[in-house]
Amino acid sequence: MFDKLFSKKDSGKVLEKLNEVSEILPAADVLDFFEKLTDAYKESKMTERELAKIEAQKTILLSEIEKKYELYHKVFDRIFDERSSAIHKSFEIIDKGLKDGDKDLISTGMQGLSKIVSSSPFANIQQLTNLIEGNKTIEI
């Protein structure tokens, strides 16, 4: 709207309107009104730029969050897949020991299973977090 008000092709109409307004309002008030209108227009444009900047920052942050989520998802999938494989292997050893009647093999399988189950995959979570947040390449 403001752009149209000051376009060259409409300048004649604007002058006519100013003359009409000046009959109603004193010239000082008209100038004050246009000064305030100009300030409001500038502030509006500045606000639009700030909103665009905030929107761009939001998009970047959301993208970063999505990438971190995907990375954490892959890391935890690998951690728990590894634990699952180790547990499965321990049961295979126990089953073989039961089948062969080998108490030492059963005991070895039980110790391995106990070790896996009693340890927390989150014991070194701070180290893992530092590694992930450290902008280093992680081999998954």
pLDDT tens digit string along 102-136? 999 999 999 998 888 887 777 777 777 777 777 66
Q: Where do the structural domains in the chain lie, given as residue ranges?
A: 26-133
pLDDT tens digits for 84-101? 888 999 999 999 999 999
Per-residue H/E/C for 20-31: HHHHHCCHHHHH
Amino acid at 90: S
Q: Going by C-beta distance under 8 Å and a sequence separation of 6 or more, which residues neighbour residue 14?
A: 5, 6
What's the pTM? Answer: 0.51
DSSP 119: S
